[in-house]
Amino acid sequence: MKIPLSKPYVTQEIKDAVLRVIDGGNFILGKESEAFEKEMAAHTGVKNCVLSANWTAAVYLLCLSLKKLGRLKEGDEVIMPSHTAFPSCEPFIHAGAAPKFVDVDETYTADPAAIERAITPKTVGILPVHIYGHPVDVDRIKAIAAAHKLWIIEDCAQAQGAKYKGTRVGSMTMAAGFSFFPSKNLTVFGDGGAMTTNDDELANLVRKLRNHGRRDKNTNDMIGFNLRFNEINAAVGRIQLRELDRLNDGRRKAVALYRQLLGDVKGVTLPPVRPDSEPVYHMFVIQVDNRDGLQKFLSEKGVNTGIHYPVAVHQQPAIQALYKDIPKLPVTERIVNRILSLPIYGEINAEQVTHVCNCIKEFLKA
């Protein structure tokens, strides 16, 4: 049995939508993109959604907008977890800010106590990451931010559709960034991203910057970029968005079976869930001692797995070359050697999940 780590949702309707855009002849920031922005804003529960070339581009343009508004400047610090995808830090560094890395708690999300300890006079913001599709402890982080007058940008790259106390991620803070990379819960069959916000001024600045600083076709208010979205991706994204909640339910059902079959298996640590959170399981990540051995064994059994991430961001050569006095992060540095991402996607079935679990039991028993 061959089981992929992830699998995008593909239907004939999606293929037909792509052909419809091709036949229409409009390929960049047209009616499909406009509709996708409105539909995603409504689904997320915000006033504004601005599409861009990818998550990194959307958040970079957001950082530049904050600089124009005097809310971010060279040398400012932004607190974020080190246990995340490397792109989480890139927009801030390119904008002249310095990431301040903190440790995570048992849910793999940023530890609020660690965030509070990391605040210095240079701190202006926090980037909490809803890693693996599990929401951060939003209330505690918002309370910390309010006490210290910090802004928050949610990293929702892996968490589209997740909820915290019944509210969608990406709607509870100043702004948020989303990714539509092919492995994500909502994909557009290529790179793509978006930012969401209730701040009209921020949204308008990002919208201009992504398209050469244009006010209209012939008037440029500022020096911008070509970081636009295309109509084929938007047409795909609109259908994916319509199916997102159903496919996320499929992920949760698969995780429920994983927990049932692995819950009593000695040597396997399953990820906890906060009572106030509704994760969407972009990844289902377990911990085992002999992670590399198990991964090799599963591969031989036809099961594709991943490691997200084997090298923490603060351990990356690019970061260590930029910054001195990077703190030790004991939880992060321990789990990167033990974590393993199991196959998960919206349409994975019980037979596939059972096969993965049986293989894990076979390896651990041996």
CA atoms within 13 A on the CB side of 254: 28
Average pLDDT over residues 71-96: 98
Average pLDDT over residues 32-51: 98
Instruction: Please give the pLDDT value at position 129.
Output: 98
**What span, in angstroms and rounded, lies between the C-alpha atoms of 131 and 283?**
9
pLDDT digits (tens, 9 = 90+) for 300-357: 999 999 999 999 999 999 999 999 989 999 999 999 999 999 999 999 999 999 999 9
Instruction: Please give the pLDDT value at position 203.
Output: 98
pLDDT digits (tens, 9 = 90+) for 269-279: 999 999 999 99
10 Å CB burial of residue 205 (0-12, 13-18, 19+) is buried
Which residues, including other chains, have CB under 8 Å from residue 219's CB and lie 6 or more apart?
none
- End-to-end Cα, the chain, rounded Å: 21
Instruction: Please give the pLDDT value at position 153.
Output: 98
Does the N-terminal peptide bond of residue 309 adopt cis geometry, omega within 30 degrees of 0?
Answer: yes
**Structure-token pair, residue 96:** 């002249």
pLDDT band at 361 (very low <50, low <70, confident <90, very high): very high
pLDDT digits (tens, 9 = 90+) for 55-73: 999 999 999 999 999 999 9
Pick the CATH number of 244-365 from 3.90.1150.10, 3.40.50.2300, 3.30.930.10, 3.40.1050.10: 3.90.1150.10
Instruction: Please give the pLDDT value at position 167.
Output: 98
Helices (H), 28-89: 31-44, 55-68
pLDDT band at 121 (very low <50, low <70, confident <90, very high): very high
**Structure-token pair, residue 286:** 């377990």
- CATH topology for 12-238? Aspartate Aminotransferase; domain 2 (3.40.640)
Asked whether 159 and 135 are in contact (CB, 8 A), the reply is yes
**What span, in angstroms and rounded, lies between the C-alpha atoms of 268 and 364?**
9
**What span, in angstroms and rounded, lies between the C-alpha atoms of 232 and 228?**
12
* 127 compared with 1, residue with greater pLDDT: 127
pLDDT band at 76 (very low <50, low <70, confident <90, very high): very high
DSSP string for residues in 188-215: -SS--EEEEES-HHHHHHHHHHTBTTEE
Domain residue limits, the chain: 12-238, 244-365
**What span, in angstroms and rounded, lies between the C-alpha atoms of 138 and 157?**
16
Amino acid letter, 19 = L
pTM above 0.95, yes or no: yes
Percentage of the chain with pLDDT > 90?
Answer: 99
pLDDT band at 205 (very low <50, low <70, confident <90, very high): very high
DSSP string for residues in 217-255: TTEE-S---B---BHHHHHHHHHHHHHHHHHHHHHHHHH
**What span, in angstroms and rounded, lies between the C-alpha atoms of 96 and 115?**
21
